[in-house]
């Protein structure tokens, strides 16, 4: 039996990703984690603190939980960018295009987040961008020297997040694929321009 605190976090992570933060009640978490209210409030001051811990877990796990699985067997730095995007596509189609990026969903759901929440959302985005920026940096002179690697990584993130948003709304991976195909074309043209 895993640690109680971990069970709470695991349950909350799934529920926040599938139902959102506001639509997930503490009772939902308790039921899903098979835990009593007293235990949850023993470990966390309140519901928002559970969210903070979930966001910290995402941030800490971006390597082992997201990047490493996406990049096993993929060495080419530019292929890695699109392997990462393909990972999000896999999550989409595996859930009938209803599950996307949990960070993005929370970022738009919580309109006026308390500073600690917003900071953690931003930190997650920053870590994603830094990882992809690293790919583009590693691509070296395959990309024109004057191309801003970090801005290109931000562009990859907006493509993914916007693609997930449209795919979920249309319940179809087609808009996600359209956007990623355009990004792939852009990167190919950058490579051809060297």
DSSP class of residue 67 equals I
Contact flag: residue 59 with a second copy (CB under 8 A)? no
In whole angstroms, the minimum distance from the beta carbon of 33 to DNA comes to: 10
Does 6 engage in binding with DNA (CB under 7 A)?
Answer: no
Measure the CA–CA gap between 97 and 105, rounded to whole angstroms. 13
159 near a second copy, rule: CB under 8 A: yes
For a second copy, give the closer residue by CB, 36 or 95.
95
The yes or no reply on residue 45 touching DNA (CB under 7 A) is yes
Tally of CB atoms within 10 A around 10: 15
Q: Residue 181 touches which of DNA, a second copy, none (CB < 5 to 8 A by kind)? A: a second copy
CA distance linking residue 78 with residue 159, whole number of Å: 15
Stretch that binds a second copy, among 60-68, 73-81, 82-90, 98-106 (CB under 8 A): 98-106
- Packing angle between helix 4-19 and helix 26-33, nearest 10 degrees? 130
What φ, ψ does residue 90 adopt, rounded to 5°?
A: -60, -40
Q: Is there binding between residue 145 and DNA (CB under 7 A)?
A: no
> Are 18 and 9 spatial neighbours (Cβ–Cβ below 8 Å)?
no
Structure token pair of residue 20: 């959102």
Q: What are phi and psi of 117, to 5 degrees?
A: -70, -50
Q: Does 148 bind a second copy (CB under 8 A)?
A: yes
Which residues, including other chains, have CB under 8 Å from residue 153's CB and lie 6 or more apart? Answer: 129, 130, 132, 133, 135, 136
Kindly tell me which of 93 and 188 has the beta carbon lying closer to a second copy. 188
- Residues near DNA (CB under 7 A) are 4, 24-28, 35-39, 41-43, 45-48
- Residues near a second copy (CB under 8 A) are 18-20, 22-23, 98, 100, 104-105, 107-112, 118, 121-122, 125, 148, 150-152, 154-155, 157-163, 165-166, 168-171, 175, 178-179, 181-183, 185-186, 189-190, 193
């Amino acid at each position: 039996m895993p640690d109680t605190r971990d069970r709470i976090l695991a349950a909350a992570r799934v529920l926040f990703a599938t139902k959102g933060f506001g639509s997930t009640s503490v009772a939902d978490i308790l039921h899903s984690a098979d835990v009593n209210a007293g235990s949850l409030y023993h470990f966390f001051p309140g519901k928002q603190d559970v969210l903070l811990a979930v966001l910290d877990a995402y941030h800490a796990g971006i390597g082992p939980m997201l990047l490493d699985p996406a990049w096993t067997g993929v060495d080419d730095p530019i292929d890695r960018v699109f392997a990462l995007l393909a990972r999000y596509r896999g999550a989409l189609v595996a859930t009938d295009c209803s599950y996307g990026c949990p960070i993005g969903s929370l970022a738009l759901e919580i309109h006026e987040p308390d500073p600690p929440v917003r900071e953690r959302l931003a930190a997650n985005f920053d870590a994603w961008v830094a990882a992809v920026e690293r790919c583009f940096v590693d691509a070296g002179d395959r990309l024109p020297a004057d191309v801003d690697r970090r801005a290109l990584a931000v562009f990859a993130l907006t493509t993914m997040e916007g693609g997930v948003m449209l795919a979920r709304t249309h319940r179809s991976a087609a808009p996600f694929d359209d956007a990623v195909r355009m990004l792939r074309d852009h990167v190919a043209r950058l490579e051809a321009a060297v």
